[in-house]
Structure 1
Amino acid sequence: MRDRTNGFLITTIILAAIGIYLALPMQHPKWLTDLLFWQPASTRDLQIKEGLDLRGGLQVLLEADVPAGQTVDREAIQTAKQIVENRVNGLGVSEPLIQVQGDRRIVVELPGISNPDQAIETLKGTGLLEFIETGDEVIPAGTKVSTSYGSLQDSGVVTSTNQITSTNQVTRTNQVTSTSGITSTTVVTPTTPATPGKVYRTIMTGADLKTAAVAFEQSTNAPIITFTLTDAGSKKFADYTSANIGKILSIVLDKTVLSSPRIQSAITGGNGQITGRFTLEEARSLSVQMRYGALPVPLRVAESRAVGPTLGQDSVRKSINAGVIGLLVVILFMLLYYRLPGVLADLALIIYALLVFALFKLIPVTLTLPGIAGFVLSVGMAVDANVLIFERMKEELRGGRNLRSAIDTGFARAWPSIRDSNASTLITCVILFWFGSNFGASIVKGFALTLAIGVLVSLFTAITVTRTFLHLVMNNMDLSRNHWWFGV
């Protein structure tokens, strides 16, 4: 029993140390971020995220860019909403709100965006990727061209099961400079603009794209865009590059040339990369648009405005003060009413708060006012579990059991009630999260997520941590004859 208690104690100490370190308001070193997210060159940070009501951000109203009398298909606007939502997720914006308004408008709220113009460019860009045949003609990057694929809205939607996660802002410039291109090509220097009025043949589009991601060159550590083609796209690419070695194959996004590399050898693996003088933000923006494809209807920005925090700093400060006071009152009550177990429960409650706050940073969870409410509610449920356990312990002590037996029996008999109450709460959280996901109510999702995290962590601290502390005290102090310490 002592070995088991010592094992749980060591685990608790390690988790508490991690919680304290992550909860500190500081910039954590890059190696720690890479370790926590299991990936090199991680761009995630471990700072707390604040929602639109606490931090402010950007609100954009997108409208279908079609003639006033033309009807917009409802399915098309819903598809456009989903693509916009995917792009927002690719930008790394936490707790966004994307909703359809009427039959041709989409409302987008982006917390914490500081550069509205760059974010808007990524949202409303059609994202049509094309590989066009230019023969021996080298077209400078940034040049607008006409292609045989037709209008921008004719392209298919690029599907992808993965997402590019990032908490940094994503930018895109109107003119992307690039001097190199896909794998197995040589770098060429543009010398002449595109032929005026010429329509270039499209060899392949983004519909043949499976994935796209940001990577880094090993030699220079410069950001590049890597992509993988579908089976059909790989065959098209292999057939064309095999028959056109030495020719130029320009890469075009939204009818704007990204780069014009020369095909040096056949490319049969279905993988490629776009390299050039990209910033990290530009590379992310382009990869997001490539992965999430072309919009079924063109969108224009009908309205864009910066949104200040719904709650002022004074309201936030008062809310924090109220939460701290409430927590202190709970700690004081547990100390006075349950005495020694109350002290240990208070320590477990502090560990609980540290672990939950650390998870909020790791996931990450965007804190909004409803999210804070979910966390506060979970604190009450964590205390409720300890109350059930301690009351059962007191009953066993009054019934004549010895201290060790009373503790173990108290935990065993309180567990079914704790399990059932927390299970019902988690089921409710799942329902609320589903509702928020399907009806665009992101504040409901935030409440459900923070409450579920709090409930799961409270189960660990109330059952494991508190019990470990009680056995640790029993193993080192003789309290068998003094039940006063246990409120009896």
Structure 2
Amino acid sequence: MLQIDLWKRVLIWLVCVTGLLLALPNAFYTRVEQSNDAVAAIEIGADTDENQATAGQWPSFLPSALVNLGLDLRGGAHLLAEVQVADVYAARMDAMWPEIRDALRPERATIGTFRQQPGPEDQLRIRISNPEGMSRALEIVRGMARPIQSLTGAGSTDITVTSDGDVLTVQLSDAEKLATDDRTVRQALEIVRRRIDEVGTREPTIQRQGADRILIQVPGIGSASELKAIIGTTARLAFHPVVGRGSDGDASAGVGNKLVPSLDEQGIFYTIESAPVVTGEELVDAQPSYDQNGRPAVNFRFNTSGARKFGDYTAENIGSPFAIVLDDEVVSAPVIQSHIPGGSGIITGRFTVEDSTNLAVLLRAGALPAELTFLEERTIGPELGQDSIDAGKIATAVAFIGVLVFMGLSYGLFGLFANVALILNIGLIFGLLSLIGATLTLPGIAGIVLTVGMAVDANVLVFERIREELKTAKGPARAIERGYEKALSAILDANITTFITAVILFAMGSGPVRGFAITLGLGIMTSVFTAIFVTRVIIVMWFERRRPKTIEV
């Protein structure tokens, strides 16, 4: 007969109440968002009266998770950046020179003296004084080649070594350039993600486009220029030996050296060795602090490898200046006073508190491997986002009201039961979106509107089956029971195929397509739940109270 166990009824209503509670903060979006931000500020130490008052705007015993609004709803910044992958080739050649120099030194008796020669940035040219020893030099340098660790470069080595008279030329192989380009873009993608995460923005979209481009969309940020300030700085930190210091910016640095300006001293230039002793890639931590004079500075710490190099160099070069170079500008060039073991130090300069904090964030996130060139930048104002929200509300309301009226006119009292379940369905969708921290976009709103139609479709199938069973079944209770039984397979078939489509869209799509897939997939689950369980519980409870002899659907 038509009955549902008590524990099942309790469980169904408990799920509905939980979903509505999770969705509740979205009805007070601005208040809850301000409260959450104040709580986060208090947790990191900003325990002010103003933050305490703001945090108290929303009761702590209630859920406070919100549905994040996407770029098209909240406003924010959109950037399309191109990674200058060729920059890495020159850095690789500069880094190889000390290794090759150390490998050739024991063979001076055979190859004579050798010097680095000027040439293209992606090549390393070395002239040897004894051309008869060229074969030995080629053998040594080719022995330094490493196999490429990628599927496309299997069986190839990372460098090609050739000779022309008394000049030996080293450059990256074509296969290594392809592998390097891919690694560079992947690394840049990860570092951009880290930098944005450090700032704490909500649900950014950061994805690769094509071979060397990155799409960055960050909701809620003030402008595209603000976003560029966060991610556009390369923040490449390195420590170089100082060759000389002067005021002539056009002076020749010499082969193997480079001329860089001072960040603090106007008109002063330093000649430094191109190959760094230690780089920022070996940093494990950087924190804003103050120097002994109370001025803002940045403390840093190297990993084991960097600490060993840093300690060895300072032990061997006491009394020599050592340049701290950030993005090809000398931040400071202190004289090494003593051996510095442990791999930690401090960067001082004319920093403000904000400068030192931002620099620490950039250094912790890591250096971009190559420069980013911004091809496209847009700032979407919050008023445009509000227009999208208003348009989405109107579209959803029109669809929702239309469906409610249709169900009420078509199925009478049973249509009203379906409408109650439909309202619960919308609440459950927003509760699940809040629970998983999903981002709602305009396509996501379209998914919700489509879900409303899907939920009604399931109820229509049930009610039509009940109508047919009323003509043949013995009594209304049996008709209702058989109606749900026979409609179940059709409801599951329709929704499972749609759910598979949503999964494929989520797996293969990106950005707005994923937003649509998430709301569609969650909506299918909630609509099946409300159509099969919630409406049935409501009808059973009504039937038990009224005990009608006949029913009209």
Q: Same fold (TM over 0.5)?
A: yes
How far apart, CA to CA, are the structure 2 residues paired with 1:4 and 1:113? 46
* Corresponding residue number in structure 1 for 2:547: 479
How far apart, CA to CA, are the structure 1 residues paired with 2:379 and 2:189? 19
What per-residue deviation string (whole Å, max 9, x for no partner) do you get for residues 268-317 of structure 1?
Answer: 9xx9999x9976x986885576446532x322345544346897866764
Cα–Cα, structure 1 residues 108 and 402, in superposed 2: closer, same or farther, change >3 Å?
Answer: same
State the 1:447 CA deviation. Answer: 2.0
* Corresponding residue number in structure 2 for 1:113: 221
Which structure has the larger Rg over C-alpha atoms? Answer: 2
Question: Contact (CA 8 Å) 2:237, 2:280: kept in 1 or not?
Answer: yes
Q: Mind listing any 5+ residue stretches in structure 1 that lack a counterpart?
A: 135-148, 152-174, 176-193, 216-224
Matches within 5 A, 1:42-441: 46=66, 48-52=68-72, 55=75, 57-62=77-82, 64=84, 79-87=183-191, 89-90=193-194, 91=196, 92=201, 94=203, 96=205, 98=207, 100=209, 108-128=216-236, 196-197=270-271, 205=279, 207=281, 233-234=303-304, 237=307, 254=327, 287=361, 290-291=364-365, 293-295=367-369, 297-301=370-374, 304-307=377-380, 317-437=390-510
* Corresponding residue number in structure 1 for 2:531: 462
Cα–Cα, structure 1 residues 329 and 100, in superposed 2: closer, same or farther, change >3 Å?
Answer: closer
Question: Contact (CA 8 Å) 1:61, 1:302: kept in 2 or not?
Answer: yes
State the 1:327 CA deviation. Answer: 0.6
Cα–Cα, structure 1 residues 199 and 236, in superposed 2: closer, same or farther, change >3 Å?
Answer: same
How far apart, CA to CA, are the structure 2 residues paired with 1:250 and 1:70? 23
RMSD value over aligned CA atoms? Answer: 5.5
Q: How many residues align?
A: 409
* Local SS of the residue matching 1:26: helix
Question: Contact (CA 8 Å) 1:94, 1:366: kept in 2 or not?
Answer: yes
User: Which of 4, 7, 11 lines up with 1:3 in the alignment?
Assistant: 7
State the 1:384 CA deviation. Answer: 1.3
* Corresponding residue number in structure 2 for 1:444: 513
Match of 2:411, as an amino acid?
Answer: Y
What per-residue deviation string (whole Å, max 9, x for no partner) do you get for residues 62-98 of structure 1?
Answer: 463969x999966656555544544554424546375
Question: Contact (CA 8 Å) 2:206, 2:215: kept in 1 or not?
Answer: yes
State the 1:347 CA deviation. Answer: 1.4
The structure whose residues are more often helix, as a share, is 2
Q: Mind listing any 5+ residue stretches in structure 2 that lack a counterpart?
A: 47-63, 88-119, 123-173, 242-255, 289-297
What per-residue deviation string (whole Å, max 9, x for no partner) do you get for residues 117-150 of structure 1?
Answer: 33113323335456x599xxxxxxxxxxxxxx99
* Local SS of the residue matching 1:483: coil
Cα–Cα, structure 1 residues 105 and 236, in superposed 2: closer, same or farther, change >3 Å?
Answer: closer
1:453 aligns with 2:522: yes
Question: Contact (CA 8 Å) 2:204, 2:219: kept in 1 or not?
Answer: yes
Higher relative contact order (CA 8 A, sep 6+): 1
* Corresponding residue number in structure 1 for 2:21: 17
What per-residue deviation string (whole Å, max 9, x for no partner) do you get for residues 302-338 of structure 1?
Answer: 5544346897866764553232122111112222322
What per-residue deviation string (whole Å, max 9, x for no partner) do you get for residues 432-465 of structure 1?
Answer: 223324xxxx232222222222222222322332
State the 1:198 CA deviation. Answer: 5.4
Question: Contact (CA 8 Å) 2:77, 2:377: kept in 1 or not?
Answer: no
- Identity score, percent: 27
Match of 1:12, as an amino acid?
Answer: C
Cα–Cα, structure 1 residues 446 and 413, in superposed 2: closer, same or farther, change >3 Å?
Answer: same
How far apart, CA to CA, are the structure 2 residues paired with 1:263 and 1:464? 76
* Local SS of the residue matching 1:388: helix
How far apart, CA to CA, are the structure 1 residues paired with 2:280 and 2:309? 17
